[in-house]
């Protein structure tokens, strides 16, 4: 299994706030597994090609002035060795008459080591001053972990976890489990501590386009006032088509494969 430690350097963090602040300044995404870049900018370049993500979340349906969140991100490796990557993300979070737009550019350098990730946002905690009030950017820290278990040739099980910390609130863990069929279709569930239980479903088309949907069943104190939350996530990978071999190249490739097969059989017979 390929393992990487992702190290990121923030180049720019641009934040625009409404007049009032809200308790949780950064938005929630149930489909975090489809876009880990949203929680860890160091993920930029973890794929060998450019990746674009779109996300829409309609939170707490039926609740007056409930949050609606829009997100777009793009990241890509650069250079032949693809150890370096760049990326960008923009969020728009709307709560009633209040709105907040945030974004960042990121630069990442990859070192082979470990696949788990830790990220922090708004680390400095700068003050935001308004005419009648003053607010601070609260520090957000995230840790993610996941693994894929191959059950059979067609079925895989993928557990994952996300831990969030936003002082002075306690750590909020989130656990997800997906069952994938041929990497084409999946169903699953997720649980966010003291907030919601979710149903997950999605499909991947030609290894390029992935569409995921989640429905959150609220378990917190506001569950009597809402019909849940809906979220749609779209991911597109800009995979380059494989180069087609001409007749001579194909013949040489077939000969090479034939020789490798014969050598393998000879080695197996020699070990018996």
Q: Kindly report the number of other CB atoms within 10 A of residue 157's CB atom.
A: 14
Query: What is the distance between the alpha carbons of residues 9 and 145, in angstroms, rounded to a whole number?
Result: 21
Residue partners of 113: CB distance under 8 A and separation at least 6:
3, 4, 5
Which single residue is written with the structure tokens 């059989």? 265
**Strand pairing of 98-111 and 5-16?**
antiparallel
For 251-268, what is the mean pLDDT?
A: 73
- Residue 189: pLDDT band (50, 70, 90) is very high
Q: Does residue 6 register a pLDDT over 90?
A: no
Query: What is the distance between the alpha carbons of residues 64 and 95, in angstroms, rounded to a whole number?
Result: 9
Rounded to a whole number of angstroms, the distance between the first and last alpha carbons of the chain is 29
- Helix segments in 109-243, DSSP class H: none
Q: Does residue 159 register a pLDDT over 50?
A: yes
91 with 103: CB under 8 angstroms? yes
For 15-29, what is the mean pLDDT?
A: 51
Q: What is the model's pLDDT at position 101? A: 87
Q: Does residue 18 register a pLDDT over 50?
A: no
Query: What is the distance between the alpha carbons of residues 203 and 187, in angstroms, rounded to a whole number?
Result: 9
Q: What is the model's pLDDT at position 30? A: 94
Least confident range of 30-44, 125-139, 182-196: 125-139
Q: What domains are defined for the chain?
A: 5-241 (2.40.160)
Q: What is the model's pLDDT at position 54? A: 97
Residue partners of 45: CB distance under 8 A and separation at least 6:
75, 76, 77, 78, 82, 83, 84, 85, 86, 87, 108, 110
For 36-49, what is the mean pLDDT?
A: 86
29 with 231: CB under 8 angstroms? yes
- Residue 74: pLDDT band (50, 70, 90) is very high
Least confident range of 96-110, 139-153, 231-245, 248-262: 248-262
CA–CA–CA angle 43, 49, 206 (5° rounding): 110
Q: What is the mean pLDDT of the chain?
A: 79
Query: What is the distance between the alpha carbons of residues 109 and 8, in angstroms, rounded to a whole number?
Result: 6
Share of the chain above pLDDT 70, in %: 74
- Residue 272: pLDDT band (50, 70, 90) is low
- Mean pLDDT is highest, among 40-54, 82-96, 191-205, 255-269, for 191-205
Q: What is the model's pLDDT at position 11? A: 44
- Residue 122: pLDDT band (50, 70, 90) is very low
269 with 95: CB under 8 angstroms? no
């Amino acid at each position: 299994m390929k393992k990487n430690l992702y190290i990121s350097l923030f180049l720019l963090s641009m934040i625009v706030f409404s007049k009032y602040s809200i308790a949780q300044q950064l938005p929630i995404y149930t489909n975090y597994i489809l876009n880990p870049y949203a929680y860890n900018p160091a993920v930029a370049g973890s794929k060998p090609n450019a990746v674009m993500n779109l996300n829409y979340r309609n939170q707490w349906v039926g609740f007056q002035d409930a949050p609606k969140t829009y997100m777009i991100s793009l990241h890509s490796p650069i250079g032949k060795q693809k150890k370096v990557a760049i990326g960008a993300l923009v969020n728009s979070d709307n709560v009633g008459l209040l709105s907040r737009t945030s974004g960042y550019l990121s630069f990442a350098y990859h070192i082979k080591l470990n696949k788990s990730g830790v990220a922090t946002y708004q680390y400095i905690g700068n003050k935001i001053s308004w005419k009648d009030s003053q607010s601070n950017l609260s520090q957000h820290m995230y840790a993610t972990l996941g693994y894929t278990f191959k059950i059979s040739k067609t079925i895989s099980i993928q557990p994952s976890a996300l831990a969030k910390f936003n002082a002075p609130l306690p750590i909020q863990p989130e656990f997800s489990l997906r069952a994938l069929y041929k990497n084409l279709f999946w169903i699953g569930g997720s649980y966010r501590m003291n907030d919601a239980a979710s149903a997950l479903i999605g499909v991947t088309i030609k290894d390029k386009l992935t569409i995921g949907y989640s429905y959150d069943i609220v378990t917190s104190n506001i569950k009597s006032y809402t019909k849940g939350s809906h979220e749609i996530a779209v991911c597109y990978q800009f995979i380059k088509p494989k180069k087609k071999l001409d007749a001579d190249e194909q013949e040489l490739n077939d000969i090479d494969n034939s020789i490798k097969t014969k050598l393998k059989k000879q080695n197996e017979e020699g070990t018996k």
